[in-house]
A and B are shown apart, each in its own frame.
Chain A
Amino acid sequence: MTSKMKQWVALAAVAALVLVAGGWFLLVSPKRADAAALRTQVGEKQQANQVLQTQIAALKAQAKDLPKQQATLAAVAAKIPNNGAMPTLIRSLNSAADDTGVELVSMAPTAPTPVVAAAATGATTAATGTARPSGAAAAAVGSLESVGVTLNVVGSYFQVAEYLDRLEGLARAFRVTTFAVVPGSNPVKPSASQPTSDSGKVLSATITGLVFQTQGGSTAALATAK
């Protein structure tokens, strides 16, 4: 082989190398990188779509149970209204007294105060110490407040016990915290028409309890949403 031929072969080999290297690094490799990146994105997207599909399937299943959840919301809203609802409470307490035969002598509420969460609830924030659920649900249900109510009723032992039973069964949640009975007399009945307090037939009961309300919440829209 002549030296001229060797030069041509060497030149061609270099040119081929340059072509291959240039083509690979400037054209093929970037395109392959693009394709790999796109395939990674496709994989991530498909994975996200699978998660979404699973979530939608779960939501579809949950949607079938929606009426039950709405019933729960409505039941809790009846137990804990989103306002004082004092007229309803007064009527309920008085109606229970009429039904059981006790004399509802007096009732006195206190101002609403935020409820300090008990350890068992698990839906509280430590910073405020109030029973406030976290997340978007907080806006729907609002913060819990309690209103102290002190009642004085007069009646027999069993009438008082029956009245307590009615309080425990009110549509609105009423939690008795202190209960005291002593011999007494009905202050709105003539003394001649009732037994003496020493007989123990008439008892004066002081019932201290709590009713609850939420502040700033409204679950009505959710309770009826389709």
Chain B
Amino acid sequence: MTVVSSEVRLGMTNSQLPRVNLLPPEIAETAMLRKVQVSLGVGLIATVGVVGLLFVSASHSASSASSDLDRASSQSTTLIKQKASYANVTATYDAAAAAQAQLTTAMGREVRYSQLLHDLSLSVPSTVWLKSLTYTQAAPAAPAAGPAGAAAAASIGTLAVTGVGFNHDDLALWLESLGGQKNYSDPYFSASTETLMGTRKTVNFTSTATLTPAALSGRYTKPLGD
């Protein structure tokens, strides 16, 4: 014998069963409102949580940055102390540079006259005697523009010589001898006069030349010890 349920016998499924909601609409609405209120409350709490998380994150970031700043400040203090311990190094270097500059100012225009005299003694023609000579070094002038400035730059002083030769040609020889040296330029004479020395005819002359920058020793324009 086969057992058949009443639903099958009636030819109906569960879904086709008629449902009847007997809950009053006011109560259903109140229940729905309660659900919505709870959901909204949870949403608000979540919002507060998100804001709180953002605040904690920002606070953490600020605190971390503050710690980094403290560390950097502490390192800075150490480095400043360390640098201060080298103060004498800086002071010594500055003072050495300043002292070197002073020495250059003082001696930069040095001319080694002993060497000029030595060179002169080797270059005087055999028919010429020097009676007197005067080297005068000009004070450094402010650089001027134009040809005058260029001429001033090419001259650091003058040489004035009085001497004796056998004839006027000897004076010419003397001037050529001066002009052939790098330390002198513009050899010139102001007088050449025949005279008698004992029984011999001689010529007394006065000459000048310009001292060129080549005569500068240059010993003090580079650092001492180099």
Binding site for B on A (CB under 8 A): 2, 4-5, 8-9, 12, 15-16, 19-20, 23-24, 27-28, 31-32, 34-35, 38-39, 41-42, 45-46, 48-49, 52-53, 55-56, 59-60, 62-63, 66, 68-73, 75-77, 79-80, 115, 117-124, 131, 133, 135-138, 140-141, 144, 146, 157-158, 160-162, 164-165, 167-168, 173, 175-183, 200, 210, 212, 214, 219, 222-223, 225
A34 vs B132: C-alpha distance when bound (angstroms): 87
Determine whether B54 belongs to the interface, using a CB cutoff of 8 Å to chain A.
Answer: yes
Interchain CB contact under 8 A, A175 and B89 = no
A160 vs B133: C-alpha distance when bound (angstroms): 13
Q: How far is the CB of B149 from chain A (nearest CB, A)?
A: 12
Determine whether B123 belongs to the interface, using a CB cutoff of 8 Å to chain A.
Answer: no
A52 vs B51: C-alpha distance when bound (angstroms): 42
Interchain CB contact under 8 A, A72 and B99 = yes
Residues of B within 8 A of A32 (CB): 58, 61-62
A95 vs B98: C-alpha distance when bound (angstroms): 31
Residues of A within 8 A of B32 (CB): 5
Residues of B within 8 A of A59 (CB): 83, 86, 89-90
Residues of A within 8 A of B143 (CB): 119
Interchain CB contact under 8 A, A118 and B132 = no
A214 vs B43: C-alpha distance when bound (angstroms): 85
Interchain CB contact under 8 A, B40 and A8 = yes
Given contacts A20-B47, A72-B99, contact A161 B72 (CB under 8 A): no
A158 vs B76: C-alpha distance when bound (angstroms): 66
Q: How far is the CB of B87 from chain A (nearest CB, A)?
A: 9
A203 vs B29: C-alpha distance when bound (angstroms): 137
Residues of A within 8 A of B114 (CB): 161-162, 164-165, 167-168
